[in-house]
Structure 1
Amino acid sequence: MAFNCVNHEYYLNFGDRVLAMIRKIFHNNPEFRHDSLKHAARFAPIIPFMSGRPDLSKTLKRVVTFPDHSNSLYFGCPIILAAGANKTAKRICDYANMGFGGISVGTATRNFREGNTHRPRVGFIEEERAIHNSMGLNNEGVEVIARRVDAQLAKAHKVGLCVGVSVAETPGLTNDEDKLKDVVESFAIAYKAGDYIEINVSCPNTGESRVDMDLSLTEKIFSEIMKFRNSQTLRKAVYAKISPDLSECHLVNIMDMLVRCGVNGVVVGNTYPTKKISELPVQTKFEDLTPLRADGDCGGMSGRPLYENMVWNVKYIREHYPQMSVIACGGIDHGFKVFDLIKMGVDAVQCYSVVAFRWMAAHSMRKELAAALKETGYATLQDYDNHNPKVTTLK
């Protein structure tokens, strides 16, 4: 695939400088920004200089369909707030105020988790416009989260949000059978609530081995998950969230396995293990980072430096596995990037770190995406899709 993505730049405006000042003032309390996002989303419509409201125009609406006739997904725009931003599933509709067309809540585990008790567990890398974290999958448990999603889903659809639920294995389990039972139970509970389910098998932030490093266990998990899914009356889409640091051989093995199991798509990808930060286009070194766990680890990195790596993975998957739906995640901070990825065959994108560096980021990215469409002669994203159908041939 010859198409090349440019790491488009945006220029700081007044709001971006306000965010920079907030980060500087609260540099000793880096979780403040993470915790304050829910308040910004809630009050965006009534704060004059934010002026954030749901955008219900048809310009950027997108419908994602699947070759196996799983339920289609309806996004107000193809920009999704990634898992980790709203771990509680409270006040989901508020995030439409910030311009998002979808949201993945969680990540949820089978039961309540406090997460990593070390402080700090979040760090900013200002010069790279990046964040690293080791939150440790703190959440209230999948039953609580699924119940909240179910209660809000209809309202979320009215404000243009497609809602996914992200689930993961509970850290601390040592027996493969226990791990398998744990993930499948969480999936079954989440399945009743979300529009789609995202299985996180690649979290580098818990201090334990990632599930995607054990291909045998990973295949058992997805086989059981899809067996459950196929037994249900409603066929909801299932996505696997994979790591961005896989070798080509490991990526092929995982993708082949996901195809065999009938998984609908992949989220490409998760946070990048900071131990491998030298593989990214950054000046920062691992030893420069703030330790986020008692063992000295610095967790996983997200933000602008992940973009080139993510694009390589997306290109490879779209070329070799055209039947798989792809949601791109990693370093996406500009609407032109979103359009570049759409031209590569991506169904939607996820982002989160950008909201720490760019004022009302999703709204800005929507404007840029609409401008990119207009430059190429399309009035709406639907027009583009009608004239540029994706290749989804089953192998």
Structure 2
Amino acid sequence: MYKRLLRPVLFSFDPEKVHYFTFSLIRNVSKIPGMKALFRSYYCVNDTSLERQLFGLTFKNPVGLAAGFDKNAVLYNELANFGFGFIEIGTVTPKGQAGNPKKRLFRLKDDKGIINRMGFNNEGLEAAIKQLKKNKGQLIIGGNIGKNTSTSPEDYTKDYLECFNGLHPYVDYFVLNVSCPNVGSHAKLNDKDYLLELISEVQKANRQFENQKPILLKIAPDLNTNQLDEIIELISETHLDGVIASNTSVDRTGLLASEARLAEIGNGGLSGQPIKNKSTQVIKYLAENRSKPFPIIGVGGIHSAEDALEKIEAGADLVQIYTGFIYEGPRLIKNINKTLIKKAN
């Protein structure tokens, strides 16, 4: 129904406007008596074989929603009814910010991809906390955190710490977003010495809490093998809890979209089917070359149950969807989970 009826209508309008319209639609439909239960009965798949134990948390299934969809934590309770095992909110920055100028979100329909240069647009830390206080505890919530665009390089760590300390009581795990191509001073965020400093400071803050939270690093799909070796060393040195592989890509190789169309769109991070193999290769390299096992969450180009299985077989413990959710609809979550049950049996 979604792909045949709803998607063609939605895809005829501006992607960013459709995003907010869809939010309103889900929220308002969910208010109709009985609709939440109807969604759960249709989309949610419950089976003990789907449970995953990872960094001290029990995920009821391994399919999550990646950061960027519910930036301000306004819809996670309703989205839980579509069968997700976990939802990552954010990226959250200390202060609210408008992000990059519009237009900044573009569909590549022939490629089943999206290019965005949103620029960490969000309502800020306090707004996210206000929303997270409404958590009904239906599933695990991750907090993806970053820096404000206007923050000076010497204060980057302060921004991450402010978000970490503020969100700590309200999320189950954290993701340090240092790999988004749409924010300033991207180079420093990928410098190993700086990452050592950042992770060390966040871990120090974590130890001040009685209930410590897992901390993960989100990396780019465009890293070469030397850079991936550095990530493996970094995790070994810092005892980080895991990695999310991967963020969006700046590579435009092999796209069906014309050069003219890509020039018209301009800069931005590419997600969806075009980066499927890239992200899987990163997962596979990390899994095969790590000296000690560490959890990997696989994300990038998952548009089918087979795509998810490919990530898991490459070494991912959990998977996340975003662009696939937009192109394939909520049935994708159910399809992945039902396929995993069949494989387990």
Task: Determine the structure 2 residue equivalent to 1:318.
Answer: 287
Deviations 1:140-176 (A, max 9, x none): 1123213422x233x133xxx2100100122232332
Give the counterpart of 1:95 among 79, 104, 110: 79
**Separation in structure 2 between the aligned mates of residue 323 and residue 339 of structure 1, nearest angstrom:** 19
Q: 1:20 to 1:41 in 2, by over 3 A?
A: closer
Aligned residues of 1:87 and 1:107 also touching (Cα < 8 A) = yes
Aligned: 1:277 with 2:274: no
**Separation in structure 2 between the aligned mates of residue 20 and residue 37 of structure 1, nearest angstrom:** 11
Aligned residues of 1:167 and 1:200 also touching (Cα < 8 A) = yes
CA offset at residue 227 of structure 1?
1.6
Q: 1:259 to 1:126 in 2, by over 3 A?
A: same
Task: Determine the structure 2 residue equivalent to 1:25.
Answer: 12
CA offset at residue 206 of structure 1?
2.7
Deviations 1:36-70 (A, max 9, x none): 3323433269699x95226262255423233xxxx
Aligned residues of 1:244 and 1:270 also touching (Cα < 8 A) = yes
CA offset at residue 324 of structure 1?
1.3
Aligned: 1:173 with 2:151: yes
**Separation in structure 2 between the aligned mates of residue 16 and residue 313 of structure 1, nearest angstrom:** 30
Question: What amino acid does structure 2 have at the position aligned with 1:314?
Answer: I
Aligned residues of 1:41 and 1:97 also touching (Cα < 8 A) = no
Aligned: 1:65 with 2:54: yes
Aligned: 1:339 with 2:316: no
**Separation in structure 2 between the aligned mates of residue 286 and residue 187 of structure 1, nearest angstrom:** 41
Task: Determine the structure 1 residue equivalent to 2:91.
Answer: 107
SS of match in other structure, 1:52: helix
Task: Determine the structure 2 residue equivalent to 1:69.
Answer: none
Task: Determine the structure 1 residue equivalent to 2:117.
Answer: 134
Task: Determine the structure 1 residue equivalent to 2:39.
Answer: 52
Percent same amino acid among aligned pairs? Answer: 28
Structure 2 counterparts to residues 77-88 of structure 1, below 5 A: 77-88=61-72
Runs of 4+ in 1 over 4 A off after TM superposition: 44-48
SS of match in other structure, 1:87: coil
Q: 1:340 to 1:80 in 2, by over 3 A?
A: same
Aligned: 1:371 with 2:319: no
Aligned residues of 1:212 and 1:242 also touching (Cα < 8 A) = no
SS of match in other structure, 2:298: strand
SS of match in other structure, 2:222: coil
Q: 1:65 to 1:25 in 2, by over 3 A?
A: closer
Aligned residues of 2:84 and 2:333 also touching (Cα < 8 A) = no
Aligned residues of 1:266 and 1:327 also touching (Cα < 8 A) = yes
CA offset at residue 285 of structure 1?
5.1
Aligned residues of 2:50 and 2:340 also touching (Cα < 8 A) = no
**Separation in structure 2 between the aligned mates of residue 340 and residue 91 of structure 1, nearest angstrom:** 29
Aligned residues of 1:104 and 1:166 also touching (Cα < 8 A) = yes
**Separation in structure 1 between the aligned mates of residue 206 and residue 285 of structure 2, nearest angstrom:** 27
**Separation in structure 1 between the aligned mates of residue 11 and residue 26 of structure 2, nearest angstrom:** 21
Question: What amino acid does structure 2 have at the position aligned with 1:25?
Answer: S
Question: What amino acid does structure 2 have at the position aligned with 1:18?
Answer: L
**Separation in structure 2 between the aligned mates of residue 286 and residue 165 of structure 1, nearest angstrom:** 36
Aligned residues of 2:61 and 2:337 also touching (Cα < 8 A) = no
SS of match in other structure, 2:97: coil
TM-score, normalization: structure 1?
0.79
Question: What amino acid does structure 2 have at the position aligned with 1:277?
Answer: R
CA offset at residue 368 of structure 1?
4.2
Give the counterpart of 1:306 among 261, 268, 275: 275
Q: 1:315 to 1:64 in 2, by over 3 A?
A: same
Task: Determine the structure 2 residue equivalent to 1:390.
Answer: none
Aligned residues of 2:312 and 2:318 also touching (Cα < 8 A) = yes
**Separation in structure 1 between the aligned mates of residue 236 and residue 6 of structure 2, nearest angstrom:** 42
Give the counterpart of 2:60 among 76, 85, 95: 76
Question: What amino acid does structure 2 have at the position aligned with 1:302?
Answer: S
Question: What amino acid does structure 1 have at the position aligned with 2:149?
Answer: P
**Separation in structure 1 between the aligned mates of residue 210 and residue 317 of structure 2, nearest angstrom:** 25
Deviations 1:340-391 (A, max 9, x none): 333343221111111221132xx334234423542x4x34xxxxxxxxxxxx
SS of match in other structure, 1:267: strand
**Separation in structure 1 between the aligned mates of residue 163 and residue 332 of structure 2, nearest angstrom:** 35
Give the counterpart of 2:26 among 38, 41, 55: 41
Unaligned runs of 5+ in 2: none
